Amino acid sequence: MKAWRFYGFGDMRMDEVPTPECRPGHVIVQVLCVQPSVTEAQLAFGIRTLAYEKIKKRLETEAPVQLFGHEFCVRIVEVGAGVTRFKVGDRVAARAKLPCEQCPLCTTGRQHLCRKGPIIGFQLPGCFSEYAILPEIALVKVDDRISDSEAACLQSLSDSVASVQTAQIGMGDTVALFGQGSMGMECMQIARNSGAGLIITVDVRDEACRISKELGADYALNASECDPVEAIRDLTDGNGADVVFECAGGSPKQGLAGNRSLLQAIDAVRSGGKVVGVSWFGQPLEVDIDLLRERSLRYLFPDISTVENLAHTVRLVASGRVRLKPTITHVLDGIDKVPEAFEITANKGKYQAINPAQVML
């Protein structure tokens, strides 16, 4: 089969490799649609972010290696011994993080909390290939009402579900979201489905603001035209928002906000309120902890998503409560377009992309 393999940072090549053989508890799948996550797209070019050192080490010791590809929609073509929940022909998506099945958490029924297991695309081959082998335990069936293209977003959506769950939004809480990329728009729509009152979003792109409004934001502020902190205070009687999601931070070279959106998020939340840190920054940050302490702010980090979170995404999208289509701006045809998808996804600002660029196989 054809598979993309990495020979080093910035060096991916399409090779002919053996099609994987099925094992007990696993399925063989044909890839229908796959997209790089933003993290993967940055790592592919050697940009420092989550898991950079681990990927660097794998490239140095194992190259060429099949990396990345945990956001996908695939069709099952073979089921291994012991697989009970799926049959040949089912379309499935997956949770990227797998339980190790050996640690004290895993052996006491708390696999969802395990941090020791492998991650699809990082320690295990992902789906930038024609076929892949996946463990049953990570999979969820895709509802017929969800397209292949939408289904490829379910993994990322499950992280957004986990982020909103972490926020524990109260009924009627005012919610502000900095950054209306794919996760920002996902968190916005899930918050809207989870009791949020007034919803205010912030981005610097007109198109992102327009889509955000279309998907349900009450106000979509363009931070290049106004002071978003002042505007959020004005809209909340001077108090600030009850909950603020920070989804814009990261390297300005990739069109992200650096740490400015985090500082704004801290300024825009009410005293005693919650800031949910969704972004990855790729480097240490300086934050005035005493300010957080003085204002009794809760700076929360999202829990890792569970298979239950993933199953919830299927309901949200199938029922139309979360709309993904308007965020899918770039869809490419054919496995040879994979490098182009990485380029677009690593530079979403430059290409005016909201969701990562997808490849239909």
| The total number of residues written for the chain in this structure | 361
Give me the least distance between CB of 111 and Zn ion, in Å please.
6
Nearer to Zn ion, 138 or 142 (CB): 138
Asked whether the CA dihedral 40, 43, 47, 48 is positive or negative, the reply is positive
Q: Which residues lie closer than 8 Å to 278 by C-beta, 6 or more apart?
A: 160, 163, 179, 183, 184, 187, 245, 246, 247, 302
Give me the least distance between CB of 136 and Zn ion, in Å please.
17
Nearer to Zn ion, 79 or 114 (CB): 114
Query: Which residue has the CB atom at the shortest distance from Zn ion?
Result: 114
Nearer to Zn ion, 96 or 328 (CB): 96
Nearer to Zn ion, 99 or 356 (CB): 99
- 8 Å CB contact between 259 and 253: no
Give me the least distance between CB of 213 and Zn ion, in Å please.
43
Integer Cα distance of 106 and 312 in angstroms: 22
Query: How far is residue 327 CA from its own chain's centroid?
Result: 13
Q: Which amino acid is at 310?
A: L
Nearer to Zn ion, 114 or 175 (CB): 114
Give me the least distance between CB of 310 and Zn ion, in Å please.
18
For residue 212, what is the enclosing H or E element? helix 206-214
- List interacting residues with Zn ion (CB under 5 A): 99-100, 103, 106, 114, 116
Give me the least distance between CB of 116 and Zn ion, in Å please.
5
Integer Cα distance of 329 and 105 in angstroms: 40
Give me the least distance between CB of 29 and Zn ion, in Å please.
24
SS3 of residue 291 by DSSP:
helix
Integer Cα distance of 263 and 221 in angstroms: 17
Nearer to Zn ion, 51 or 106 (CB): 106
Give me the least distance between CB of 84 and Zn ion, in Å please.
22
Nearer to Zn ion, 102 or 271 (CB): 102
By CB atoms closer than 10 A (0-12, 13-18, 19+), residue 77 is middle
SS3 of residue 225 by DSSP:
coil
Integer Cα distance of 237 and 48 in angstroms: 40
Query: Could you give phi then psi for residue 240, rounded to 5 degrees?
Result: 100, 165
